[in-house]
A and B are shown apart, each in its own frame.
Chain A
């Protein structure tokens, strides 16, 4: 499985002009010009305010494991988008596109594609 894990970065500069930022906070801490694909194993899914958090163990190329924390909106907005508190569970193998923290720490805001155990998760449209 190790070959499936890890992170892949690509430039998504154009996305910065079109992706809405979060209600509670903006992108000051994050490099909104890039999107990073994070692949790993879910260790926790925190369904609370002010933001829902997903924690992932990501195996790096050198074999070390890094725990990433990535966020989405709050439970109300996520519910409106078709999520629930059981969308992710510990042990799921996932891939998420994120905008990562500028300071290089394994922290990010989920943007774009989400794949859970090999199946793409499609959000519903929300206000």
Chain B
């Protein structure tokens, strides 16, 4: 057998063995690609006691982060729910909740004017004056205190961009050293600057927030004086915590924590976060078909 023939036989045998493998390798990504849209996050229990895949990178909070899901009972540190039993309906204030907030008289008045569809003061959803019920932008920090499920965080040398696909919230946090604006026009998402206080701790300050928005889904108010301070701490490669402090002397007698070391978990880099948008036409159809007919006393 000539050397050339031997090489041809080996090549043919190799092709017969390898090509199915190649097909399998190319087919697998195609199959996986079909799964790469509207991904479902893992149950939160899978994060418990999970060994981190590596140490925290320096000055980096980029990635897709899973918060689990912040439901509708308000700021996680001060949920507007009662400890036991069914939720009461239509209570005028938040008397009886486990960790009441330090409202000023004006703050309490503003709270009562906000009619939520969740929490101890909830009323029929079709009668709520929650800006979210009109498909107004949630704004910040409402977007992190309700429907906070998973976000994209993108970093470049000048800024950090946070994209919340739920209600389409986008925040730009400038890290170029600029000061906060002195007399800003209010914006739904405000004006944010961030700085690294050490290699693993990123602090964000936000002002200039639109007082038309609520703080959370249970109707906590804020004024144009609101300042929000967030502290992101990168624990390791897979874990980030978020602490959020609310400072609004017009509505609250002292600052309070809305979130305290709230855990965020790193999702795979190719995780596709589904959208959840408030469509005015869909919202109207829902109210016409369902929420309005469900009002306890028919509307007059």
Contacts and interface: CB of A to CB of B under 8 A. Distances in A.
Contact of B43 (A32, A107, A125): A125
Contact of B290 (A20, A27, A32, A53): A53
Contacts of B72: 22-26
Given A49-B276, A103-B294, A28 B38 contact: no
Contacts, number: 116
A69 B290 contact: yes
Interface string A62-95: 0000000101001111011000000000000000
Given A80-B41, A127-B44, A102 B296 contact: yes
B117 A28 contact: yes
Interface residues of A, number: 37
Given A25-B128, A26-B119, A48 B285 contact: yes
Contacts of B249: none
Interface stretch (B81-89, B95-103, B224-232): B81-89
Nearest to A27: B87
20 contacts: A17-B84, A23-B118, A23-B147, A24-B72, A25-B125, A26-B119, A28-B117, A29-B126, A29-B291, A33-B86, A48-B285, A50-B286, A51-B286, A69-B293, A76-B149, A79-B40, A101-B293, A101-B294, A125-B43, A126-B43
Interface of A: 16-17, 20-30, 32-33, 46, 48-51, 53, 69, 71, 74-77, 79-80, 101-103, 105, 107, 125-127
